[in-house]
Chain A
Amino acid sequence: MGMTMTQKILAAHAGLENVTAGQLIEAKLDLVLGNDITSPVAINEFEKCGAQSIFDKNRIALVLDHFVPNKDIKAAEQCRQTRDFAGKYDIKNFFDVGRMGIEHALLPEQGLVGPGDCVIGADSHTCTYGALGAFSTGVGSTDMAAGMISGKAWFKVPSAIKVVLKGKLSPYVSGKDVILHLIGEIGVDGALYQSLEFTGEGVKELSMDDRLCISNMAIEAGAKNGIFPVDDVTLAYEKGRFEREPKIYSADPDAEYTREVTIDLDILRPTVSFPHLPENTKTIDEAAGVKMDQAVIGSCTNGRMEDMRTAAAILKGRKVAKGLRCIVIPATQQIYLDCLREGLLEIFVEAGAVVSTPTCGPCLGGYMGILGKGERAVSTTNRNFVGRMGHVESEVYLASPAVAAASAVTGVLTDPAKLPAVD
């Protein structure tokens, strides 16, 4: 029996010729990641068990991104604890305010993760790096602590769902619509404990930012990881970033999949997830007209340069609707700078949006855009659970940057293709 792409990466990191679904293995890690929320818990565990050293100061990344610039005194203390730990152990990839970005936008951008890697991160969206052809998965803080000590983690080898992409995306349809559609098809536990393996001729039509967005939300279908084959798009992206030699793995032709799902990109419509689960999807044609109070454009899902350009192209020459707050958050310092140089910040501000420094802030109801009772947000983030962005009676509608920007202009959920032309 052949192996899936995920299984091949895991086998290689476990020093095994072959692995099969369900097998328990111990794998070497190329990178261990934590943030300002999860690292303090990991550091407490690290210290509690009496550890004196880390496995490799170059292979741990600590990113302060959830509640920075510090939102309150408690958040400041968590950052201080993480900063002190990074200093004590001379951790090279420590990213503080001024260098930081939202972790899953930052690590690929900085070339810290790449094809063939095996990565764990104490953040559920660590599955993002599957877009680069890596195995990467979210874990908790205890696993992060054990990973920092030993450089290893145990895994149950996952079975896989094959997701075949056909055709090419239409204008105003993006990677976000692909993943929301898929979650709508298979449900929030449709891939529980499994890999999502993306394949098919449609892959080559997807930009790296589209792929990063798709892999990012694999967890929202319960998946352990979501992985793309490595192709010219991947290698072009990695050129000049990833310093290690990319290791390219591909699924065997006789690899076993428990299920196959086909998505025809040609006919995919802009898709919106209604409260309070990402699986509650509707096309924009069914969703249009729902009144919004806030639009959030950013996050580890959709805060990348392409997302900023898409939003800016729609907001250019237009105004944010009266009664709606529009919050734009470039995901990293580099993206912020690129937005500045391309004139996008000016477009956002002239449209009546606010632009924040990189932070996870509103996505998880931390700060920088909390919703009040009964308020609704259209958001390019990844979760719309009860109370996710604020009050327990608020609502989050997940959508692409194009839909969020168009809806910011009209004040209601809007198909970007139907916006009246700018005078």
Chain B
Amino acid sequence: MIANGTVHKYGDNVDTDVIIPARYLNTASHEELAKHCMEDIDATFVSTVKTGDIIVANKNFGCGSSREHAPIAIKASGISCVIASTFARIFYRNSINIGLPILECSEAAQEIKDGDEVEVDFDSGKILDKTLGKTFQAQPFPPFIQNIIEKGGLLNSLKDG
């Protein structure tokens, strides 16, 4: 599986309240949530994001509330992958569970810049910043996680066996 897109870059401690503010948690509709994704940290995100784009951030991405609406909103907005130095643990688990690929890679998180064109190979864990002409290595997903992501989430993967 390969992801390919333009980078939206953020800093440390991007919390799930800014990813999807609680004022929009009165719905579980993926399309509705996507309309407000990143609204309180980047009001232009929704109008600029294209299918396949990639979010890159520094440490502790997704901290705070356990709302699964946060990775759902990111995935439904068209983002193909999130790369960060570290992730908050509930967000990490939720992302895998809903089939949003997410990679920890400090080097990539530090060097990749907003607007760079990046390609990610999930089988090998290779992250290529085409703008910088530089490759970074993240830990690839073990097969069972790859299976969850390919099936579109944990419960889908259980259903299909």
**Residues of A bordering B, CB below 8 Å:** 37-38, 40-41, 44-46, 48-50, 66-67, 71-72, 74-75, 78, 122-124, 126, 138-143, 145-146, 188-189, 192-193, 219, 222, 224, 277, 364-366, 383, 385-388, 392
Q: Which residues of B contact A71 (CB under 8 A)?
A: 26
If A142-B97, A192-B88, A222-B89 touch, whether A387 touches B21 (CB-CB below 8 Å) is yes
The answer to whether B89 and A66 have CB atoms under 8 Å apart is no
If A38-B66, A44-B28, A366-B23 touch, whether A142 touches B155 (CB-CB below 8 Å) is yes
Contact of B101 with A by CB under 8 A: no
The answer to whether B17 and A388 have CB atoms under 8 Å apart is yes
The 10 A-B pairs of least Cβ separation, nearest first, read A140-B94, A74-B26, A142-B97, A140-B68, A49-B155, A124-B66, A364-B22, A189-B60, A387-B40, A141-B68
Q: Which residues of B contact A124 (CB under 8 A)?
A: 64-66, 90
The answer to whether A75 and B155 have CB atoms under 8 Å apart is no
Q: Which residues of B contact A67 (CB under 8 A)?
A: 25-26
Contact of B46 with A by CB under 8 A: no
Q: Which residues of A contact B67 (CB under 8 A)?
A: 37-38, 140
The answer to whether B13 and A74 have CB atoms under 8 Å apart is no
A25 to B158, CA, bound (A): 18
Q: Mark B34-46, 1 if CB is under 8 A from A, else 0.
A: 0000001100000
Q: Which residues of A contact B17 (CB under 8 A)?
A: 364-365, 383, 385-388
| Minimal beta-carbon separation of B47 from chain A (angstroms) | 17
A138 to B92, CA, bound (A): 12
A193 to B87, CA, bound (A): 10
Closest to B95 in A: A140
A193 to B104, CA, bound (A): 14
Closest to B40 in A: A387
| Minimal beta-carbon separation of B50 from chain A (angstroms) | 24
The answer to whether A145 and B155 have CB atoms under 8 Å apart is yes
A139 to B154, CA, bound (A): 14
| Minimal beta-carbon separation of B160 from chain A (angstroms) | 9
Contact of B110 with A by CB under 8 A: no
A140 to B16, CA, bound (A): 12
Contact of B59 with A by CB under 8 A: yes
Q: Which listed residue, B15, B21, B25, touches A37 by the CB 8 Å rule?
A: B25
Interface residues on B, range: 35 or more
The residue in B25, B26, B67 that gathers the most chain A C-beta atoms within 10 A of its C-beta is: B26
A365 to B64, CA, bound (A): 14
Q: Which residues of B contact A365 (CB under 8 A)?
A: 17, 21-23
Closest to A51 in B: B155
The answer to whether A192 and B15 have CB atoms under 8 Å apart is no
| Minimal beta-carbon separation of A104 from chain B (angstroms) | 12
| Minimal beta-carbon separation of B97 from chain A (angstroms) | 4
A45 to B72, CA, bound (A): 12
Contact of B27 with A by CB under 8 A: yes
If A142-B97, A385-B17, A387-B17 touch, whether A189 touches B23 (CB-CB below 8 Å) is no
The answer to whether B28 and A41 have CB atoms under 8 Å apart is yes
Q: Which listed residue, B97, B153, B159, touches A50 by the CB 8 Å rule?
A: B159
Q: Which residues of A contact B159 (CB under 8 A)?
A: 48-50
| Minimal beta-carbon separation of A192 from chain B (angstroms) | 6
A-B contact count (CB 8 A): 129
27 contacting pairs across A/B (C-beta < 8 A):
A38-B67, A38-B68, A40-B28, A45-B155, A49-B156, A74-B27, A139-B93, A140-B66, A140-B67, A140-B93, A141-B94, A142-B153, A142-B154, A143-B93, A143-B94, A145-B155, A189-B59, A189-B86, A219-B90, A222-B88, A364-B65, A366-B22, A366-B23, A366-B25, A386-B15, A386-B17, A386-B41
Q: Which residues of B contact A383 (CB under 8 A)?
A: 15, 17, 64-65
Closest to A387 in B: B40
Q: Which residues of A contact B97 (CB under 8 A)?
A: 140, 142-143
Closest to B160 in A: A49
Contact of B69 with A by CB under 8 A: yes
The answer to whether B13 and A189 have CB atoms under 8 Å apart is yes
Q: Which residues of B contact A387 (CB under 8 A)?
A: 17-18, 21, 40
A71 to B159, CA, bound (A): 35
20 extra interface residue pairs, beta carbon distance < 8 Å, beyond A66-B25, A67-B25, A140-B67: A44-B28, A49-B155, A74-B27, A123-B65, A124-B90, A140-B68, A140-B71, A140-B94, A140-B97, A140-B98, A143-B93, A143-B97, A189-B13, A189-B88, A192-B60, A192-B88, A364-B25, A383-B15, A383-B17, A387-B18
A49 to B88, CA, bound (A): 27
Q: Which residues of A contact B3 (CB under 8 A)?
A: none
If A78-B26, A222-B63 touch, whether A193 touches B94 (CB-CB below 8 Å) is no
The answer to whether B86 and A192 have CB atoms under 8 Å apart is yes
A123 to B15, CA, bound (A): 15
The answer to whether B89 and A224 have CB atoms under 8 Å apart is yes
Closest to A391 in B: B40
Q: Which listed residue, B59, B72, B90, touches A138 by the CB 8 Å rule?
A: B90
A193 to B86, CA, bound (A): 11
Closest to A73 in B: B26
